[in-house]
Structure 1
Amino acid sequence: METDLKKISLLVVDDSSINQRVVAMSLRNTIEDIDVASDGLEAFKKYCAKQYDVIIMDGRMPVMDGYESTRKIRQFELEKGIDKKSTIIALTGSDTDEESQNCLNSGMNASLLKPFRLTQFLDILKEFS
């Protein structure tokens, strides 16, 4: 992103606390404001309280999956007239065309394949800044 990465806010959404920690630890020297959520409903609630610049979203989670959460976030942005929409990046274990299409159809901007790789994440941020 053209702005200082340390100043962006990031929400990491994954039902695996290990995956949450891997992403947060990978980014701790790059981004200071990192929060986590364990499912899509928690992510949506956190987003409504604090609009994040970037969200890393797992697709398959209990309670509410990442696709539904993304649709709800996009609807919230629309209803509230939020001009600066969050960049939502799927973090998925599947690299099928169907999975990629599901991500895009739900309103995500891009997808990353697990395991999380910092360089790929930064490349996506540059693309969507």
Structure 2
Amino acid sequence: MGESLAILLVEDNLLNQRIVTFSLKKFNHEVVIANNGVEAIEHFCQRKFDVILMDIMMPVMDGIEATVKIREFENKNKIEKRTPIIALTANTMDNDRDKCISYGMDEFMAKPFDIEKLNSIFDELKIPS
């Protein structure tokens, strides 16, 4: 087992929150939940996270807009090492992945949540897991 990570989970569905949190805590990761993009930005501005898992379709503010605002915050504050953002979405068309990447996300993972797949993404992005 690798390092414990501080993970911001941005997800509006309570069942998905529970499944993802349960899976991540098995690896001793700390999970902070944001129910929408606005909450995600608030959490992000208050503390550092090792990685953000970002749902795309949410009320109040979606994951794309939240990602853009997080990247703007990083640029404005001259943060050298940007926080990896992994899209979590039920939309699995090739152009959905391209859209997420074009808006500043680092990787894309289709739902339903799969901890093995997430760990391989962590490896690809060189996020200690």
**1:59 equivalent in structure 2:** 56
Matched, 1:88 2:78: no
Distance 1:5 1:115 in 2: 24
Distance 1:84 1:56 in 2: 17
**1:119 equivalent in structure 2:** 116
Note the residue ranges of structure 2 that are not aligned, 5 or more in a row.
none
Map Cα deviations across residues 44-99 of structure 1 (whole Å, 9 max, x no partner). Answer: 11000012110100001011000000000011111111122111000110110221
Q: Is the CA contact 1:9–1:31 (under 8 Å) kept in the aligned structure 2?
A: no
Note the residue ranges of structure 1 that are not aligned, 5 or more in a row.
none
State the percentage of identical aligned residues: 38
Map Cα deviations across residues 21-59 of structure 1 (whole Å, 9 max, x no partner). Answer: 110001112133210010001001100001211010000
What amino acid is the match of 1:66? G
What's the RMSD between the two structures over aligned residues? 1.3
* TM-score, normalisation: structure 2: 0.93
Distance 1:73 1:90 in 2: 14
What amino acid is the match of 1:115? P
Written as runs of structure 1 = structure 2, the 5 A alignment for 1:29-68 is 29-68=26-65
Map Cα deviations across residues 80-125 of structure 1 (whole Å, 9 max, x no partner). Answer: 1112211100011011022112211110001111011011101111
Distance 1:111 1:127 in 2: 12
Distance 1:72 1:78 in 2: 10
Distance 1:5 1:112 in 2: 21
Post-superposition, which runs of at least 4 consecutive aligned residues in structure 1 deviate over 4 A?
Answer: none
What amino acid is the match of 2:90? G
Once structures 1 and 2 are overlaid, which stretch shifts more, 28-37 or 117-126?
Answer: 28-37
Distance 1:95 1:5 in 2: 30
What amino acid is the match of 1:42? E
**1:5 equivalent in structure 2:** 3
* TM-score, normalisation: structure 1: 0.93
Pairs aligned (count): 126
